[in-house]
A and B are shown apart, each in its own frame.
Chain A
Amino acid sequence: MADLFPPLATAQVDAKTKVDEKVDYSNLPCPVPYDEVHREAYMSLKAENFEGFRFDFSKGLNQKFSLSHSVMMGPTEVPSQSPDTTIKIPVAHYEFGANYFDPKLMLVGRVMTDGRLNARLKADLSDKLILKANAQLTGEPHMSHSVFNFDYMGKDYRAQLQLGNNALVGATYIQSVTPRLSLGGEVFWAGVPRKSGLGYAARYETDQMVASAQVASTGNVVMNYVQKISEKVSLATDFVYNYFSRDVVASVGYDYILRQSRIRGKVDSNGVTSALLEERLSMGLNFLLSAEIDHKKKDYKFGFGLTVG
């Protein structure tokens, strides 16, 4: 229980020394990538809850190369006509994957029993330019898509160009304005539904907290705040508002990182409460428990899994 109380004394000393330093505007730190502006909040609020049984086994053949096998059995939701009833169909599949990790090149590939192939590539073309590609191929016609990203990391800014099939073009830019505040914007144009969009994001972080906000022309406004209470505990809250469809969702969550386990829990304003527990049973063996209760729709999802390696 002592972890719940923040170390107040040391925080005050750190704040005083920081205020005394003058802000050096020519030496600002590099901001986080535009996609990861909400990174800390989504670590506790968007945990991967699952339903059913999950088993992941990964084995390293080499220092750089590893294979992974994964089995998933459980019900998956099928979109139904009426919004009240949810149709669940039990599904089981096996996924085989291969990973190659190099300091400059990362390749990940996954194949599933229903014929879907997922491939990811991340290559450091130079010191500051990174190429990322993501492709998903399926047997059904016109359902495969791929996306290429070119990331350029400058001294205190990052720029990204995104090209996808079906004529998708996007660009994002994020810049550090002060040592703690970074602002960014994005623009994209999708060829198939002939839509274009704009978005802005802002992120303010200190040692103890991170606050970020994002507005998009699709009507989504996202604001979140994460407070790090101690080394092991952090609390997060999130507010999503869509000004076209007038949907509002607020959620509060916690993230406890203990020595042998990690617990993430969250409560929603849609009446959904969920929790994910990962416990380390022994070296390389992790036990996962996931629970999600939707009080409004009376939908209960529980899952357990094992991760080896």
Chain B
Amino acid sequence: MAAKRFGGAGKSGGGDSNILAKISNSEIVSQGRRVAGDAVGVSKKLLRSTGKAAWIAGTTFLILVVPLIIEMDREAQLNEIDLQQASLLGAPAQRGF
């Protein structure tokens, strides 16, 4: 772009805008612009659908898996305490019923 400007400075003012207009109206530039627009649109849609999928996966994981992990942890802790008590007292641990 800088080279074009220097080159354009050497020519007359009318010819300068003519060349720039010809370049910007040419086939390649307009195709490039269309592809760039499409790419932006596709990436926006991709971002939105990834966001939606992440939300669905995240909330489903939160509802189905997190309470399960918490409860299984507590069960493991309880088992550990029972094991410790059994090894300490030499007898099966008493259930607090």
Contact = CB atoms under 8 A, between A and B. Distances in A.
B67 A259 contact: no
A291 B74 contact: no
A1 B72 contact: yes
Contacts of A274: 63
A288 to B, nearest CB: 12
A289 interface: yes
A211 interface: no
A263 B64 CA distance: 9
Contacts of A1: 72
Given A260-B78, A283-B97, A273 B63 contact: yes
Contacts of B97: 283
Contacts of A263: 67-68, 71
Contact of B60 (A3, A267, A289): A267
Q: Helix, strand, loop or mixed for chain B's interface?
A: helix
B72 A273 contact: no
A256 interface: yes
Given A1-B72, A258-B71, A258-B72, A265 B64 contact: yes
A265 B71 contact: no
A260 B78 CA distance: 9
Contacts of B72: 1, 3, 256, 258
Interface string A42-70: 00000000000000000000000000000
Contact of B64 (A258, A267, A289): A267
Contacts of A275: 63-64, 67
A125 to B, nearest CB: 36
Given A283-B97, A295-B56, A256 B68 contact: yes
Interface string B69-84: 0011011001000000
B59 interface: yes
A265 B97 CA distance: 27
Contacts of A277: 67, 71
A261 interface: yes
Q: For this complex, into which size category does the number of interface residues on chain B fall?
A: 10 to 19
A265 B74 contact: no
Interface in B3-17: none
Contacts of A265: 63-64, 68
Contacts of B74: 258, 260-261
A293 interface: yes
Nearest to B64: A265
B92 to A, nearest CB: 14
Given A259-B78, A260-B78, A283-B97, A293 B60 contact: yes
B4 to A, nearest CB: 54
Contacts of B63: 265, 273-275, 291, 293
Contacts of A267: 60, 64
Contact of B71 (A256, A273, A293): A256
B66 to A, nearest CB: 9
A259 B56 contact: no
A273 B60 contact: yes
A273 B64 contact: yes
Contacts of A283: 96-97
27 contacts: A1-B72, A256-B68, A256-B71, A256-B72, A258-B72, A258-B74, A259-B75, A259-B78, A260-B71, A260-B74, A260-B78, A261-B74, A263-B68, A263-B71, A265-B63, A265-B64, A265-B68, A267-B60, A267-B64, A273-B60, A275-B63, A279-B71, A289-B67, A291-B63, A293-B59, A295-B56, A295-B59
Given A260-B78, A263-B71, 14 more contacts: A3-B72, A256-B68, A256-B71, A256-B72, A258-B71, A258-B75, A259-B78, A261-B71, A267-B64, A275-B67, A279-B71, A291-B63, A293-B60, A295-B56
